[in-house]
Amino acid sequence: MVVLVAVVMISGCTNTQQTKTYTGNGFTFNYPANWNDTTLSPELVMGMNYTEMYNATDDLLVIVSNLGSGKDYEGFFVLKKNDAKASESILGSLTFLGNNPQAWASNQKQGLINSTPHELISEKQTTVDGNTAYQFTLKNTMGNYYITFVYFTKNNIGYCLEYQKYGSDDQQTLENIIKSFKFQ
């Protein structure tokens, strides 16, 4: 008689992605360790000068990215509107209308869909460090990249978190950043 015994070993599998921590401008968040803080040289991000695009470095608080180009690129931006109650503010292509993050998101979404080759992939209400936020994701149909905007207010300051990724709408990196995003 032959007796077969199977031994099954189960080990806990955890995601141990290495991260760096950004601290500054009154907040902190974690981002992938293979990314860099490119805030001081934003023209290096996909060959675009984001400081010029958003008109003032005070409004463009931080850019972290992997400095890749084409299908390797991912990046995360934090922008702000100093007075969320002001009637209107324009940061490059972003328009903040009054004190209403939901209206900011709607305005941005419609503007991009109407003026450039973008299609809406998803939209939802979420939270960032306990603050109600409005999030939507678009796909650029000509460039095969995805861009997600997250709008919210904190202490009468309007914030826009922007996440860009080439070739995939996988939001795991963004979700990890948002979960770690805390005001100091």
What's the pLDDT band for 102 if we cut at 50, 70, 90?
confident
| Tens-digit pLDDT profile for residues 25-34 | 999 999 999 9
CA distance 63 to 48: 12
CA distance 96 to 65: 25
Question: For the purposes of burial, counting CB atoms within 10 Å of the CB of 10, is it exposed (0-12), middle (13-18) or buried (19 or more)?
Answer: exposed
pTM for the model: 0.78
19-183 folds as Protein Transport Mog1p; Chain A (3.40.1000)
Write down the residue that tokens 């979420």 correspond to.
126
DSSP-assigned letter for residue 130: T
Inform me whether the pLDDT recorded for 91 exceeds 60. no
Report pLDDT for 60: 77
Q: How do the residues of the chain divide into helix, strand and coil, expressed in percent and rounded to 5?
A: 20, 45, 40
Inform me whether the pLDDT recorded for 55 exceeds 70. no
